[in-house]
Amino acid sequence: MCGIVGYIGRQEAAPIILQGLRQLEYRGYDSAGLAVLDRTGALQVRREAGKLVNLERAVTEAPVFGVVGVGHTRWATHGPPSQRNAHPHSSPDGDLVVVQNGIVENFWELRQELEGIGYCFQSDTDTEVIVHLIDHYYHNGDAGHLERAVQRAMQRLKGPSAIVALSSRHPDRLIAVRLGNAGGVAVGFGEGEMFVASDIPAILHHTRQMAFLDNRQMAIVTAQGAVFTDLEGRPVHKACVRIDWNPTAAEKGEFRHFMQKEIFEQGRSLTDTLRGRLDFQRHSVILDSLNLDAAQAQRLSRITIVACGTSYYAGLVGKYYIERLARIPVEVDYASEFRYRAPLVAPDQMVLAITQSGETVDTLAALEEARAHGAFTAAIVNAIGSQAARVTDGHIAMQAGPEIGVASTKAFTASITDLLLLALYLGEQRGALPESQRRHIIRTLSTLPGLAGELLEEALRSERYRELAERYHTYHNFLYLGRNIHYPIAREGALKLKEISYIHAEGYPAGEMKHGPIALIDANMPTVVIAPRDHVYDKMLSQIEQIKARSGPVLAVAHADDDAIRAKVDAVLPIPATDALLTPILAVMPLQIFAYEMAVRRGADVDQPRNLAKSVTVE
């Protein structure tokens, strides 16, 4: 969850590290710190509690100068957010520093062992165990061999960790290690300079050439390049990947928040998601990176989708798509629960992970469980080079570009679109979907970016959502209702409101309202309904009538020209009419904007909501 940046080269390291940390602050913002090797050969450490601006102020007041350094922004696991718990953590002599993303599950046993041989701990963190272990091995058997000391220390750790170590005794190198599924480690290649980061956007301003560490791999990074080994010291070949993301895509531009920017660029992100994947002559979908041929598709007896949070709700929409178009039974499971219940997985099944970051530890663990049972594994993933994309048999790239806001928006709509593409692909490969139906859906899909663009452009010009936020921002509870394919959209809408405005909200199947939630309905309980004109439209109108009969305010996501529903509700969040399969993708956008404006009106920190981080790399 934490963010790491390292630099070695010819430029001043501190500004590069601080810029990179700014790009990674979505991963954690409890505290931040950096260490730079100065011109005298000493490590200069600056650490501050709170957001990155506090560290930036400290570095301005007490500058650090040098061409090699590491930095960190923290999401607290062990120990409260404070200066003493901020990274980097130092060895007793100050000659070694370590930054970490992850968790040391056996840190208490290791801490007691180290205290027993004389080490004094200055923090409450598990990370301090790592720096002391490296220091211990360096001075006891591995003198002069930093790489070996790091390897021996990392072999002692249980649990996922990604670290970068810097020693004043070895000023020409950074050492990065990935252990388990603690999040990514990207090594960036420059001209006479090198970079290390937890995520691509941190170093994309400086290089597009990157390699990515896998489990139990280490990189010895100098200004001239990198050498890769495993934790036993055996050489490892790593391919260098070119990253084609535009660096400016990670900047807010004209928008007030990254989340706002990412909501309103969904027309573009959907275009990129569809680009190159629709064959209008053969009426087919092209998913080359999935690596699943017709024979394999025909053998599939079931698909299990594993995901967390927003991605889980995307999976629920995908269940409707795949079962309807490909006629394959689909189960959607929380990745955090999947491996703990002895799942029934077999070689004739697919386990499909949905993960924006590709580094969510629960999702990676679920994939490991699926591989152990011989299932075909696949991932819908946004982050190029991420662990999920590398360890699966095949993947579908969202192609949405960097998503910086912690609350996912464009990655959600890209995920749903990719699930529809997958359903079309499987339907064709299995002979379950007639060509005439594929033709209709593919042609309709090509209109999706334009429809999204129109919806979002109208919302950007309108005062509608700001006025609704002014009216409803003081309410403490919301109910979101949807039926059929829009039930997951109701859950996602409720999640967005909870995440960024801190208003309690629940998403429910509309038909279940009378089985409990209706007891909560009164004038102080607004309900948001997703009610496009589809085959359950009349049933949604009935739900609205029941709510209004109990004086409950109703906001409806509905077709813009639906005058009948407009007469029944307190406000309409309009969407354009299109094929029912595409409607969920459009229906969630007004809910994203509503949640955003509510959070802004309540003065919440939209891009960095409390207690949350973008990529959850600890259990």
Which residue numbers are catalytic?
A: 2, 614
Sign of torsion over alpha carbons 558, 561, 565, 569: positive
Quote the distance between the C-alpha of residue 578 and its chain's center. Answer: 29
The answer to whether the beta carbons of residues 460 and 305 sit under 8 Å apart is no
Question: What are the φ and ψ backbone dihedral angles of 161, each rounded to 5 degrees?
Answer: -150, 145
Helix, strand and coil percent figures for the chain, each rounded to 5: 40, 20, 40
Question: In 326-409, where does DSSP find H-type helix?
Answer: 335-338, 361-372, 387-391
Q: Is 474 helix (H, G, I), strand (E, B) or coil?
A: coil
What pairing do the DSSP bridges indicate for beta strands 96-102 and 161-167? antiparallel
- The Cα–Cα gap between 223 and 387 comes to 26
Strand order in the sheet with 209-212: 43-49, 31-37, 68-74, 3-8, 194-197, 186-189, 209-212, 241-242
The residue written with tokens 């599939």 in the block is 300
Strand order in the sheet with 554-559: 504-509, 477-482, 527-530, 554-559, 571-575
- The Cα–Cα gap between 352 and 392 comes to 9
Sign of torsion over alpha carbons 84, 109, 115, 5: negative
String of DSSP letters for 115-149: HHTT----SS-SHHHHHHHHHHHHHTT-TT-HHHH
Q: Measuring CA to CA, how many Å separate 218 from each of 15, 39, 179, 508?
A: 26, 27, 9, 46
CB atoms near residue 41 (< 10 Å): 11
Structure tokens at 349: 């099944």
The residue written with tokens 């079931």 in the block is 302
- The Cα–Cα gap between 162 and 609 comes to 24
What pairing do the DSSP bridges indicate for beta strands 209-212 and 225-230? unpaired
Q: Which of 118, 66, 137, 125 is nearest to 99 (CA)?
A: 125
- The Cα–Cα gap between 367 and 359 comes to 11
End-to-end, the C-alpha distance of the chain in Å comes to: 10
- The Cα–Cα gap between 355 and 414 comes to 11
Q: Is 13 helix (H, G, I), strand (E, B) or coil?
A: helix
Burial of 435 (0-12, 13-18, 19+ CB in 10 A): exposed
String of DSSP letters for 606-619: SSS-TT--SS----
String of DSSP letters for 58-120: HHHHS----SEEEEEEE--SSS-SSTTTSSPEE-TTSSEEEEEEE--TTHHHHHHHHHHTT--
CB atoms near residue 43 (< 10 Å): 24
